[in-house]
Amino acid sequence: MSYYRTPRENINFVLFDVLDSQCLSQTERFADATEEIFSAVIDEAGKLAENVLLPINESGDRQGAKYDPETKTVTTPEGFKEAYQIYQQGGWSGLSADPEFGGQGLPHLLKMVVDEMVCSTNLSFGMYPGLSHGAIDALTMHASSELQDKYLGKLIEGEWTGTMCLTEPHCGTDLGLIRTKAEPQTDGSYNISGTKIWITGGEQDLTDNILHLVLAKLPDAPNSSKGISLFLVPKFLEDGSRNPAFCGGLEHKMGIKGSATCVMNFEGAKGWLIGEENQGLKCMFTMMNAARIMVGMQGLGLAETAYQVSLGFAKERLQSRSLTGPKAPNEAADPIIVHPDVRRMLLRQKVLNEGSRAMAYWTGLHMDLSHSLEDQDARQKSDDILQLMTPVVKSFLTDEGFFSIDQALQSMGGSGFTQDWPVEQLLRDARISRIYEGTNGIQALDLVGRKLTMNGGRLARTYFTELNAMLSEISNDIHKANCLAFMKALQGSLVWLAKEAIQDPEQAGAAATPLLRMFALTSIAVLWARMADTASKEDVAAKYNAEFLGSKVKCADHFYRLYKPEMSALHEEVCAGKDTLMTFSEGEF
């Protein structure tokens, strides 16, 4: 069943008309990143997603990855190996990687667009090459030239894949508790011993080698997160011998069943230090930040597919008559899209999907600008926005992606609950995105505990300066006034937090999740004003049909109707503080 089409108009509109991302081609680093190059890559990615990945998505879910306990190997679902060969030969693994090591050097923003399409059509497949990008970033930024020369090229070419081995059976987020050990050897290598869990692609049959990036502790390391180091542990060594890093089994999951989520046992496996001793957290965050943005795109991609499915269903499913009289008098009933409650669910999906895409692409654009602008202050400004928005993009897009898919399922009634339609799989696949790469609660704590306090609160000041700059160009006074109301509520919450959190850190913890949501809604509010304003311009009108552009203005109005009241409620929730949370004794639960 073909149920997804690349939302090309929406992608083009945000990239080229709203964000003017072709400005990247004016920088030396991304001189080749013209609109024509962007469009050509997006065209090919759309073909890959629709024609190669989508056809094996449902079968991959039904078959799942299979583990053989005798050989300790994993077989991916039918079609995955062939699809990976197409992916690898197409150069997709190295799209945004450094040309010095064989990458194409294109903007990370373009990779985000490709990630969205891959996740829309086959999230399980996308997990295998997806984790390699974090490994590529870590090796590029932190590994010695010797390790880079030996391993980075194969990763970028997609001939090998990479993993992130962080979590252990007894600890998740608190990595200071890890027990995996690294014993120094006379040849400069280390023997790695320990068990890691929930390792995506820890074992698979897609590539000849797998490079595990493993967090471990040296014998004399501090017994805390300050004593963590990062090591590269290949499945096969240079001489072709098997390194004792084995899969001990697969997790049994509710979703992404085609993705092999492994228990990995390192039994004195040979590894090499990445970066400096006891600086593993620094290296890890290089991987994690890239992965968190990617996970946000998973939420968006799955939500886009669910919207397309439920919209098509609503246009065709006949059920009852319109409340104002028949709309399809020649049919036995009207299509359910005429009903207000069905429209409520569809439009919630539409305004959040399109708003979330704009927020994610805006963040991705600043990621690229932070690496390519010549002016140091301008680079710092973009990096401030990237750092602040990374936990927001990860959390909001995955939270709302899941809720959006749930709305799609609900609008389809019993049909949505069955395997006759793809939405139930999308819902199961999407649920993990709110958990891995740092749960969304952890993202909120990262926002209030690290990002808002960095450099004396500079990141938030940069953020509001940028929003005000965008608002200064908006011609619609009503939209501008709505955005200012969003910003006022957020600023009021930050003032309360600044006063209370200094005296009591639990106040910051209690406010973290609603505050993160306020940042997301405020960002999207301003971007919807910008999208609506862009849609009214004469030069843009020549590129798109009137219904497409008209919907942008109406979507902005609908977004403000839905979420302006919520901003007030979130502000009240923040300022209510911790009392009703923290006064309960354990027995009172």
Question: Catalytic residue numbers?
Answer: 437
Contacts of 569 (CB under 8 A, 6+ apart): none
Q: How confident is the model at residue 177 (pLDDT cuts 50, 70, 90)?
A: confident
The percent of the chain in helix, strand and coil, each rounded to the nearest 5, is 65, 10, 25
Phi/psi of residue 195, nearest 5 degrees: -125, 130
The radius of gyration of the chain from alpha carbons, rounded to an integer in Å, stands at 24
Cα distances (Å, whole numbers) of residue 284 to 47, 163, 215, 345, 502: 33, 12, 8, 39, 29
pLDDT at position 224:
81
pLDDT (average), residues 19-30 = 97
Positive or negative, the CA dihedral 463, 292, 361, 476 is negative
Lowest mean pLDDT segment, chosen from 279-283, 323-327, 375-379, 391-395: 279-283
CATH class name, domain 161-284: mainly beta
Residue 325, Ramachandran bin (φ over 0: left; ψ between -120 and 50: alpha; else beta): left
Residues β-bridged to residue 245 = 266
Lowest mean pLDDT segment, chosen from 215-229, 354-368, 525-539: 215-229
Contacts of 286-289 with CB under 8 Å at 24 or more apart are 286/134, 286/137, 286/138, 286/141, 286/142, 287/134, 287/135, 287/137, 287/138, 287/164, 287/213, 288/134, 288/164, 288/437, 288/438, 289/390
pLDDT at position 281:
84
Domain range list for the chain: 8-157, 161-284, 286-580
pLDDT at position 568:
98
For the chain, give me the number of helices (H) and strands (E)? 20, 9
CATH 3.40.50.300 fits 286-580, yes or no: no
- Is the pLDDT at 501 greater than 80, yes or no? yes
Our measurement of the distance from residue 539's CA atom to the centroid of its chain's CA atoms, rounded to an integer in Å, reads 32
Residues β-bridged to residue 249 = 263
Residue 105, Ramachandran bin (φ over 0: left; ψ between -120 and 50: alpha; else beta): left
Between CA 480 and CA 489 the distance in angstroms is: 14
Q: Map residue 124 onto helix, strand or coil.
A: helix
Residue-wise pLDDT tens digits, 208-256: 999 999 999 999 998 887 889 999 999 999 999 999 999 999 999 999 9
Q: Exposed, middle or buried, 205 (CB in 10 Å: 0-12/13-18/19+)? A: middle
CATH class name, domain 8-157: mainly alpha
